[in-house]
Structure 1
Amino acid sequence: MRIFIACGSYLLQLMVWVAVLRLWVTSRSRIKHERQNFGSAVYSDHFELRHFLTQGVVLGLALSVVNMVVGFSLPLLWIVIYEILAVITLVILPTTVLPLTLLVVSTLATISVSVFGGTYISDLPSLAPTGLRWGINAVPVQNYLWLVAFFFLVLGHWLSHYGGRFTAPRIYAKQRGKRIAGYPWREFLVLPMVTLVPGDWFASHWAFWPLLTIHGQTFAVLVVPLLVGLRFTVFRQVPRQVYQGLAKKLVWLAVLALLFFAWAIYRPQDVPVTLVILLVGYAIILWRAKRYDAQQQFWYSQVDDGVRVLAIRPRTPAVKLDLTAGDIILECNHQPIDSETSFYEALLINPTYCHLKVRNRDGELKVTETAIYSGAPHEIGIVLFRDQEG
């Protein structure tokens, strides 16, 4: 029962609800833009929130189990700094989430107090009257590297399984007089992470609060929200392949973080440097991925001979057509097409069946066909560039 009560305290933390609100606004904005650009949303449900609630809990549970097995702990000062910075980031930066930067900045701020200036400790407000402890020196400094390593593992796992699966396009600009589409990733998770916090303040004020004693040191069990996310947009490659590649590189960063963790057991003073190295390495990986995407010749752009497929709406007849984003539909029902309007006019030739001639992004031709909803060609589920008025 005590564990359930401690877990329930997670829902009372401001950062959790700010993150839910922020993600709801992001999801709502995506649906609004899709309706404006394509007539209806590609994914009409708030799948970002669904992933937040399902993947966030599952990955948070896995991380929590590992933390409890190894006795992972964090000082109260780090938790306070991290949650304040996270809330500010989620509120002030409406289009950017910097989860790894938050981890590193919070850690460097905490270490600067405990390692680089003992006088700063006396400047902190005294918590003696409350029974709380900042716990700065009661937590091994290498624990921060453990946390960063699991950040990379969780993000890599998430990208590997979900990156590119929900390819919702967005119209960004014009390339040589033609509109182009990109595929943004704007999701993030908040993991309910169980950690140990030095001190017995929680139990001294609430007798039901769970405590653990390790090597004579008392720790309270606390559930802390951990922000995990990524901002990335694919313009020229297959999104699924991009995120698979990023996931593999993140796993290698996690391995490097664990090696730094082992090194820090003997040289804890090197932790700030290793954290900066990991942050710079993460930035370089994202920069190189963006640069490689920018160097490709392909564009998700409008074409003169046919219409470009931008996405396939789920649970529609188009799912059976073996189409992927980037394909070009050259003919529909044996009629050449060059616009969204001509595509739907060709569909009306046979209102219950669709026969397509398609050229994929590699230049290969193929023929595909399927039954469609009678009398409802616009419900076929193929997302195209809309015809511009005027």
Structure 2
Amino acid sequence: MGLDWLMEFLKGTLKLFLHPIFYYSFFLAAVLGVSRVKRERKNFSVRAENAYFELRQLLPLGIVIGLGISVVMMGVGIAIPFAAIVFVALLTLLLSIAMNPRLLSPVFTVGFAFFLTIFAGGEKWSVPLFQNAFLQLEEKIYPSIALLLALLVIGEGILIFMNGKKGTSPKLTISKRGQRVGIHEVKRLWMIPVFLIIPGSSLQAQFEWWPVFSIGAESFSLLLVPFTIGFHQRIQGMLPIKAVQAVGKKVVALGFLLVLMAIGSYWLPILAIVTVSLAILGREFIALRHRLTDDSLPFYFSKRNNGLMILGILPESPASKMGLQVGELVLKVNGSLVHDETGFYTALQRNRAHCKLEVLDAQEQIRFVQRALYEGDHHELGILFVQDEKKWGTEVG
């Protein structure tokens, strides 16, 4: 019996490579990376992370979260209709056309798929390739989709909290008062592969080679399904790490509330509809509340009279190795007060062999950092500031 299950897991894993969304997610992540690099070069004439950064974030943490969701879904024997998986894939393709990662949140892809599945069950659709998939829909299956959505929302929150804070992208913009200021932006794409039990033999009916196993009188298929999770956040009034983590915590809390409601829907099926509706409205409320709160705050990355605000740090640069952080204020360079970027590099040139900075950190504490400088370091220290007027383009904020 154990060997049979192992073989089913291996077959289910191989089926991941048959899913078009698996490959499409890599394409979308690559597009996000290239567009970010182009914008950063336009603002700063240099990019922060390379174009492969978004691709590197796509899977690692998502695999761990997917395993956790798989254990829950399979451990309690929850089956998901294949019709819902088809709808999720179609919605992922359609919603991605706008190139707004926020629309790829599971509350939209899985949430809207939930309502389409209910509608399809009532209409008894017959879809080419998967005729039987839409003929085996029953009311008792809908709470399972609601529970899957709730678990994916928890996964989304964990990804935002742990991964969304990494590599936030600095950006120059023009405030409503016409001043040049800095903001940070996160556009991220993740993939959560989840093992799902598919009831019936709808897949085998179309593809004779598709393996099906039986539990009692019921037949099932095992499928590793890739769920694409998108996230977009713009931060102007606080430190990017704190802003992103605050959203992540709220999304995780929403997910746990949805889990409780989804469990209750097994006894009160109408609660499944309430759960999915709350997921959509709750996730939108979290995004809207953050946006309104952030817009009400003054720009964090703006020009200061007492120093230079660090908008970004290039990876593996001298500044990164010195431990400088985004949001810190450079007060002095080699003992000289600095007020603009020109003064900063002029002070660096006064001591070509050594760099000593006095900075004010996010906790309003003064600290000193220093490093020996090598040839070229003076011009490539790796700090991005809110720059003076230059030819590079910015946006109106």
Q: Calculate the TM-score normalised by the size of structure 2.
A: 0.87
Question: Which runs of no fewer than 5 residues in structure 1 stay unpaired?
Answer: none
The alpha-carbon deviation at position 207 of structure 1 amounts to 6.2
**Aligned counterparts of 1:332 and 1:266: Cα–Cα separation in 2:** 67
The alpha-carbon deviation at position 86 of structure 1 amounts to 0.8
Contact 1:34/1:170 (8 A) holds in 2: yes
**Shift in alpha-carbon separation, 1:220–1:134, aligned structure 2, 3 A:** farther
CA RMSD of aligned residues (A): 2.6
For residues 287-322 of structure 1, give each alpha carbon's deviation from its aligned partner in whole angstroms, at most 9, with x where no partner exists: 222222223345211335432211222222213444
2:114 maps to a residue whose letter is: T
Residue in 2 aligned with 1:164? Answer: 165
**Are 1:22 and 2:28 counterparts?**
yes
**Aligned counterparts of 1:155 and 1:49: Cα–Cα separation in 2:** 17
**Are 1:102 and 2:109 counterparts?**
yes
**Aligned counterparts of 2:103 and 2:174: Cα–Cα separation in 1:** 23
Written as runs of structure 1 = structure 2, the 5 A alignment for 1:1-390 is 1-94=7-100, 96-99=102-105, 100-114=107-121, 118=122, 120-121=123-124, 124-125=125-126, 134-137=135-138, 140-174=141-175, 176-203=177-204, 209-361=210-362, 364-389=365-390
**Aligned counterparts of 1:66 and 1:237: Cα–Cα separation in 2:** 37
Residue in 1 aligned with 2:395? Answer: none
**Aligned counterparts of 1:375 and 1:249: Cα–Cα separation in 2:** 45
The alpha-carbon deviation at position 105 of structure 1 amounts to 1.1
Contact 2:262/2:271 (8 A) holds in 1: no
**Shift in alpha-carbon separation, 1:9–1:125, aligned structure 2, 3 A:** same
2:118 maps to a residue whose letter is: I
Secondary structure at the counterpart of residue 168 of structure 2: coil
Q: Calculate the TM-score normalised by the size of structure 1.
A: 0.88
The alpha-carbon deviation at position 19 of structure 1 amounts to 2.0
Contact 2:114/2:142 (8 A) holds in 1: no
The alpha-carbon deviation at position 127 of structure 1 amounts to 7.4
Identity level (%): 26
Secondary structure at the counterpart of residue 174 of structure 2: strand
Contact 1:18/1:90 (8 A) holds in 2: no
**Shift in alpha-carbon separation, 1:128–1:149, aligned structure 2, 3 A:** closer
Length, aligned pairs only: 384
The alpha-carbon deviation at position 107 of structure 1 amounts to 0.4
Secondary structure at the counterpart of residue 310 of structure 1: strand
Question: Which runs of no fewer than 5 residues in structure 2 stay unpaired?
Answer: 1-6, 392-397
Deviates most, 92-101 or 26-35:
92-101
**Aligned counterparts of 2:85 and 2:266: Cα–Cα separation in 1:** 22
For residues 324-367 of structure 1, give each alpha carbon's deviation from its aligned partner in whole angstroms, at most 9, with x where no partner exists: 22222232122333332332222122122111233345655443
**Aligned counterparts of 2:130 and 2:356: Cα–Cα separation in 1:** 77
